[in-house]
Amino acid sequence: MALDIKNLTIGYGANKVLGREINLSIKPGELIGLVGQNGVGKSTFIRTICGLQPALNGLVLLDGKSTEEINPKEIAKRVSVVLTNKPDSLNLSVLELIALGRHPYSGWLGNLKADDRNKIDEAISQMEINYLAKKRLFELSDGQLQKVMIARALVQDTDLIILDEPTSHLDLKNKIEVLHLLKKIAQSGKGVLISTHEIQLSAQVCDQFWCMDFGKQILVGKPDAMIQSGELQEYLHVPRETLK
């Protein structure tokens, strides 16, 4: 399944447009990094393509069909999202939070079947957090909680996973671990889009960068080529020698 973005305009009304005429696509097996300065519109872009914020113009298509025409429950079976906000209740157990990802299939009563439990076990193993399963969320470090949030997205069993700043507030070890886990998830056949400020780390794992700059079209390319050409540094407004 592919997600296609057609002539998309994002922002908060005519007086605050953050991006115009955006045409991009995410395909299975790709890990894409959305990069750009603070305030350029990365989170707005993610919220718009996930349907959490209305587009000012244009379409977001799943397999050629507008998301506006697809039942939200069906979208939840095809696209999972990890935002920057923490869960409302940190008193939940790790297992309880991850199980919430099965709601598109189990309903809000949360009646888990054998297949649901298998998906939960698979996600816990894939994220390498078996040792955390019985802990409460308030007992976790930021890095551990982020891995649990990604596991919740995995159990939705979607073709696409979209994450807003998945490595923010993590130490270097956890940043590297989370990015490499996301690379493995993409290699398993899922399309993965992350917004990130970790340019040098994400350049090592991302297949493409989408770079946003104020008033410009999104720059698309392979991270190494964009760095070598100096285009990425120009869009990020940093000296060329900053990224090598």
pLDDT of residue 72: 86
Per-block mean pLDDT, blocks of 10 residues, the chain (244 long):
90 87 93 93 92 91 89 89 86 92 77 88 91 93 91 93 91 91 93 94 95 92 94 90 81
Any idea what the Cα angle at residue 132 is, between residues 194 and 198, rounded to 5°?
A: 25
Closest CA to 97 of 125, 123, 126: 123
| Sign of CA pseudo-dihedral 38, 149, 107, 67 | positive
Distances from the Cα of 139 to the Cαs of 63, 93, 96, 145, 168, in angstroms?
41, 9, 14, 9, 19
Domain boundaries, the chain: 1-74+190-244
pLDDT of residue 227: 93
Question: Where do we find the tokens 């671990």?
Answer: 177
pLDDT of residue 110: 66
Q: Give one word for 230, left, alpha or beta, with left for phi > 0 and alpha for psi -120 to 50.
A: left
CA distance 178 to 156: 18
| Six token digits for residue 10 | 């994002």
Helix intervals (H) in 100-171: 103-106, 114-126, 142-155
Helix 142-155 with 114-126: angle, nearest 10 deg: 140
**What's the length of the chain?**
244
CA distance 191 to 219: 19
Closest CA to 167 of 155, 156, 180, 154: 180
- Put simply, whether the predicted model's pTM sits higher than 0.95 gets the answer no
The CATH H-level (homologous superfamily) assignment of domain 1-74+190-244 is P-loop containing nucleotide triphosphate hydrolases (3.40.50.300)
pLDDT of residue 64: 87
